[in-house]
Each structure stands twice: as C-alpha cells, then as structure tokens.
Structure 1
Amino acid sequence: MSTDSLSPAARRLCDAMTAGFPGPGDVTALRAAAVPGPPGPEMASVYDTVAAGVPVRVYDPAPGAEGRPLAVWFHGGGWVMCGLDTHDRLCRELALASGAVIVSADYRLAPEHPWPAATDDALSVLLWARSEAPALGCDPGRVVVAGDSSGGNLAAVTTLRAPELIAGQLLAYPPLDASMGSGSVTTYGRGHFHTAAHMAWYWDQYGGDPTHPHVSPLWAPDLAGSPRTLIVLADCDPLRDEGLAYGRRLGEAGADCEVRLHPGVFHGFLGLPLPAGAAARAGMAAWLAATP
C-alpha cells in the first residue's frame, strides 16, 4: 500500500467514491457511474449547438459583452466516459468566475471511436471557436484550450497541433505519457481513487502509438513556441509526475508555464467539496480572465 498523505476530508471522500466505483474493464458500468453532480449556478446564457459536426455546450455569462477570452473545454473521463452534463457545473463556475465564454466539447469516445477521433474533434472545435469568437463577443486572439484528466491530454495535443491559434492551455491533472513510467504511478497507483489499473485500461481503449506526441505529449521532441500554460495537479495522483515533468519541459523550452500542485488531494478533486478544489477553481478562473 502506498504512502498516504491525503487530508482527512479527502480520505473520507476518496474512500466513499472508491467504494461505489467500478473496476476497469466494464465500459457500461463505468459510464453509468459517471453521473452529474449537483446543479450548477444559474447564468445568463447556456445552450447546446454543433461545432463542425461536434456537439458543444456554450456558456456565456454576459451576452453582449465584447473582447472576452474564450475557453474550449475538454472533459475528463479516460476518453471513454463523461460528457457535457458531468462537467456542466464546473463549466458554469469557470465561466461566471472568469467572465470568459466556455465552449464545452462532446468529443467522440473510445472504444467505439479510438484515437485519433477525439483529437480530431478537439481540433475541429478549436477551429470553430476561433471563427465564431467575434459572434460570441470574444477576441479570436484570446482563445485558450482547457480540460481535466483525459481532457487535459486533448488540450495539450491540440496545442501541439495548432500552437499559433492558441493563447494558452490549461491542463488539470492530465495523462501525458502512455508508458506510465513515472514514480507517482507506483506511489499513488492504489488507494487514491484513480488507480494505475484504471489508467492502463483507459490507455488501452484509447489506442494509438504510445510514443506518438499526439497520444503522449510528454514525448513531443520540441515544445518551443508553446503558449502560456497553467498545469493544475493533485499531489496524491498517479499522474502527478507526468504533469510536473511536462511543466519542467515547457519551462526549459521558454514557455510561460505555471504549475500549481495541490497537497492532500487526489485525482478529480476539482469537482469535489474540498477547500483545495475551490481554491483551484478560483485560480483557474483568474488565469482565464487574465488571458492576454
């Protein structure tokens, strides 16, 4: 069993969540377990539409405003589960707190649609967001990509594919290395909700060459020219060291990169009723609002 440095509140939540969460291998059970949380706050405009063939949900906290940032959000869920509804509350909170328009992408899921389907959908939504930004009251030069967990991977891959179109990337505890060779995979791979076994299974469903940078961004040979970046990590997470390594590489490549490591919490803490989750969301919103 790994060393446990979760806070008492996080440990109680972790144990309760783990008790009701299916093991890897059953797509139907995992999808059934990925239910939306409590309703999010009311806001001026929330509507569903289609962006270049991809369903999206648009969150606009102040219709009629101009020149705002726009964030394209990619949800987590191991590329196999979750969707617009599971991340609705988080997107509402980020839009309200930042003043940015959020476009949440309902990309195609594995294993029915393996790599590169999700990455292609992600790029399509980015291109749509850039073209629609003026109509949405946003500055096309202030478009960022963002996501949690597997969505953070998609944000990083989209940035690698089109860095010139992106003003920033916000990556929350992203999987960045399909080889899963970092130390935190061993240290926190059991007993901290998101297990190494789950992650290995997600990678298997997703597919693709594990050494390809558009699968494993940490394998990208050159990160020069990367935009402003915020990486939000949980300390007790198998994916922690991948995020730390990516942050170091971005900094070495000359990117404006900030890594925020939150102690005492586990993978998925952003949406949980924990002080660290509230602090992380507030920090993410402030970062979005400051998009140059």
Structure 2
Amino acid sequence: MTGGPDPLSPAARALCDALATGFPGPGDVAALRATAAGGRSRPGGPAVSGVHDTDAAGVPVRVYDPAPGAAGRPLVVYFHGGGWVMCGLDTHDPVCRALAVASGAVVVSADYRLAPEHPWPAAPDDALTVLLWARAQAGRLGCDPGRVTVAGDSSGGNLAAVTALRAPGLVAGQLLVYPPLDASMRSGSVDRYGQGYFHTAAHMAWYWEQYGGDPQHPHVSPLRAADVSGLPRTLLVLADCDVLRDEGLAHARRLAAAGVDCAVHLYPGVFHGFLGLPLPAASSALTAAAAWLTR
C-alpha cells in the first residue's frame, strides 16, 4: 500500500480490510478453499426462473435461464475466478444470477477442474469443452448460436480470453473481468497495488505456480499471443486498485491496435474482486456489462 491518500473509497476500504482479515496466505489450498466457500460479504443473487445443474460433455455446469421458452437470446459461458485453485458454481452463483437477470441471456457457469490437482491445461480444456457443448445446445436453450460470449472474472477471465483464442469464429464476444493475462507479472500495477488491496502480488504469483504451464505460451498468458486481430468484440472490466490492472489495459491497447472492437470499463476506488460485493461500482459494472452483452 502506497503513502498519501487512500485510492480506495471508504466503503471499499472497509470491505477490503474485512475480507483481508483472516484470509489465508498463499500456500494453504484447503484453507483458501474453505474461506472462499464461506462467501464472506457477498450478498445472494436475484431469483432466476430456471436454474439447473447438468453435465457438459463431462464438465459439471449450472444453467441460468431468466425466461424459459424465449428464443434468439444471447448465450454466456461463464468461468469463475479463484486463482484456478478455489471457488466453483456456488461461490459465483450470485454473480451469474445477476448477469442473467440483467441481460436476459442464458448463462452457463462451468465447474472446471482446479489446480494444483489438475494443472494446466486441464482448466482451459474444460473451458473449451463447455463452450462447444453450449454452442451445440444453443437452440435447445433458446439462444442464438451466433451470439455466444465467453466471460469470466479473475482466473476465469483468463480462461475466457484463452478460449476465445482457441476457438476463432465460434465466439461473438469476450467479457473479461480483471483477468490475469501475463504470468511474468511485470506491470507497474503489480508494484503499486501488490499489498494492502486484498488480492496481493504474493497470492497471484502463487496461483500462477499452482496453475503451471509455460508462462510464454499464449494459452497460459494471452497477452503473449502473436496475433489478436481475429478476436471478437471485447469488454474489459477492471478495478483501478488491482495488481492486474495494467495487464488488462495493455491487452486492450493490443486489441484496439489490431482493429478489434474493444471497450474498457475502469472502476476507480475499488479493488480486485469487487464484482458481486455490496458496492455501487459492482452494481454499475454488472449493469454496464449486461447492456454490452445485449447490444
């Protein structure tokens, strides 16, 4: 945490400190998973008309349908965050509910395999499997197969970006919420926000270690992709006080330079993980992302 005025809003600072108190340090997978499952400070999501769990070619998924029987709607394939080592369908249930209700889209949330038990490429392989399954099921789900968006927060944002790279032409959009995009972690925001803003640089480095894979490979570090010109329209949702902020901004600049329709929503005064927390910025971010999805 740097000197001078606190860049977090008072409400965000209170939540940040509350979440950080007792949050396990890097290295204890069981403790991190137990804490994430507790879901401290995260309100429940809105009611959704149709919610059911099913199997997507071997990967468990949860489907959120805000208007069963409708047709031609967007379809969102969502990948949860958690450093590739924790979280799952239940921890991100509120966000998926909110996104489905606000956008009118069907949301398919993927319960991909976690590291360190299942290191790279298990998670991106599961992500691609769910995308292909969702596209094949689009008509049955009342969705337009030409309006499929991959989405995710934090490590799930990484998986969404990697899936878009691996499936050219199959994805109409990518919604990336504060994603880790470069395993080298050399950006300026790593130094500036590496401590004191809940998600520390030490935690992020440890998550990368558990995840594995070649840090130079674009399916590990999407910022390393040689050619991004064929990627779909993109929305990057970023927290200003986040070690991952500059990676997201660098990715946006590359996409724009390559002619990709790319928008950045940078939220000041908040920290990594703010989506789904009881903060005005979280509500604004979900509303704006939903509007982008339905545009």
Q: TM-score, normalised by structure 1?
A: 0.98
Q: Counterpart amino acid of 1:275?
A: P
CA apart distance, 1:20: 2.3
In structure 2, the partner of 1:154 is 159
Q: How does 1:154-233 map to 2 (within 5 A)?
A: 154-233=159-238
Task: For residue 278 of structure 1, give the secondary structure of its aligned residue in structure 2.
Answer: helix
In structure 1, the partner of 2:91 is 86
CA apart distance, 1:170: 0.1
In structure 2, the partner of 1:99 is 104
In structure 1, the partner of 2:144 is 139
**After alignment, is 193-202 or 218-227 more displaced?**
218-227
* Residue 9 in structure 1 maps to residue 11 in structure 2: yes
Q: How does 1:233-272 map to 2 (within 5 A)?
A: 233-272=238-277
Aligned partners of 2:43 and 2:277 also within 8 Å: no
Q: Counterpart amino acid of 2:291?
A: A
In structure 2, the partner of 1:23 is 25
Q: Quote the Cα distance in structure 2 between the aligned partners of 1:2 and 1:242.
A: 20
CA apart distance, 1:51: 0.3
Identical positions, percent: 76
Q: Counterpart amino acid of 1:149?
A: S
CA apart distance, 1:206: 0.1
In structure 2, the partner of 1:34 is 36
Q: Counterpart amino acid of 1:30?
A: L
Question: Residue deviations 1:188-223, cap 9 Å, x none?
Answer: 000000000000000000000000000000000110
Q: Quote the Cα distance in structure 2 between the aligned partners of 1:163 and 1:119.
A: 15
Question: Residue deviations 1:237-291, cap 9 Å, x none?
Answer: 000000000000000010000011000000000111111111001011111122x
Q: Which runs of 5+ in 1 are unaligned?
A: none
Q: Quote the Cα distance in structure 1 between the aligned partners of 2:136 and 2:262.
A: 27
Question: Residue deviations 1:148-189, cap 9 Å, x none?
Answer: 000000000000001210000000000000000000000000
Task: For residue 113 of structure 2, give the secondary structure of its aligned residue in structure 1.
Answer: coil
What stretches of structure 1 move > 4 A for 4+ residues in a row? Answer: none
Q: Quote the Cα distance in structure 2 between the aligned partners of 1:39 and 1:123.
A: 28
In structure 2, the partner of 1:118 is 123
Task: For residue 52 of structure 2, give the secondary structure of its aligned residue in structure 1.
Answer: strand
Q: Counterpart amino acid of 2:32?
A: L
Q: Which runs of 5+ in 2 are unaligned?
A: none
Q: Quote the Cα distance in structure 1 between the aligned partners of 2:16 and 2:178.
A: 16
Question: Residue deviations 1:119-148, cap 9 Å, x none?
Answer: 000000000000000000000000010000
Note the aligned Cα RMSD (angstroms). Answer: 0.8
Q: Quote the Cα distance in structure 1 between the aligned partners of 2:208 and 2:54.
A: 29
Q: How many residue pairs align between the two structures?
A: 290
Question: Residue deviations 1:33-62, cap 9 Å, x none?
Answer: 002443322111000000010000000000
Q: Quote the Cα distance in structure 2 between the aligned partners of 1:2 and 1:272.
A: 24
Q: Quote the Cα distance in structure 2 between the aligned partners of 1:200 and 1:150.
A: 12
* Residue 45 in structure 1 maps to residue 50 in structure 2: yes
Aligned partners of 2:175 and 2:234 also within 8 Å: yes
